[in-house]
Amino acid sequence: MRKILAVLAAALIAMTLLAGCSKSPVHRKIRADKVEGGAGFVPGVLRVKKGDKVEITVNNKLDKTHGFSIDAFSVRNTVDVDKPILVKFTAKRAGTFEIYCQLHPAHKKASLVVT
C-alpha cells in the first residue's frame, strides 16, 4: 500500500510541475513607426503579467534601422526596415518599464506594464 501511495504522490507532483512548464508564451507586437509627427513605437503600451514568458515581435516601418531596448529585462536589439525580430524574456518582476530606441534617444518611448 505504501508503494502505491508513493507512486501516486510522485505522479501527482510530476503532473503539477509539468503543468507549469507547458504554459504558452504571451505574444505581443510593436513597431517603430511615425508617432505624433516624429518616430516612436506603436502601440505605446504593452501589458503582460508577472511570470509570463513574453515574446514580442518588433517591426520597423520607418526608413532606417532602429533600436529596441527594455533595460529591466536585458533586451537590446536593432531592427532593420521591414525585417521583424522576435524578442523573448520572462517578466520576472512587476512594474512599468521603458521601451526605447537606443539608437535615437529623441524618439517617443513606449511602456511595458507588468502586473
Tens of each residue's pLDDT in the chain, 115 residues: 777 766 666 666 766 655 555 578 999 999 999 998 899 999 999 999 999 999 999 999 999 999 999 999 999 999 999 999 999 999 999 999 999 999 999 999 999 999 9
Report the pLDDT value the prediction gives residue 11, as an integer from 0 to 100.
Answer: 66
Report the pLDDT value the prediction gives residue 31, as an integer from 0 to 100.
Answer: 96
Q: Parse the chain into domains and list their residue ranges.
A: 24-114
CA dist 76 → 21, 85, 108 (Å): 26, 12, 17
- When the candidates are 2.60.40.420, 2.40.50.140, 1.10.510.10, 3.40.47.10, the CATH number that belongs to 24-114 is 2.60.40.420
Are 32 and 69 spatial neighbours (Cβ–Cβ below 8 Å)?
A: no
Report the pLDDT value the prediction gives residue 107, as an integer from 0 to 100.
Answer: 93
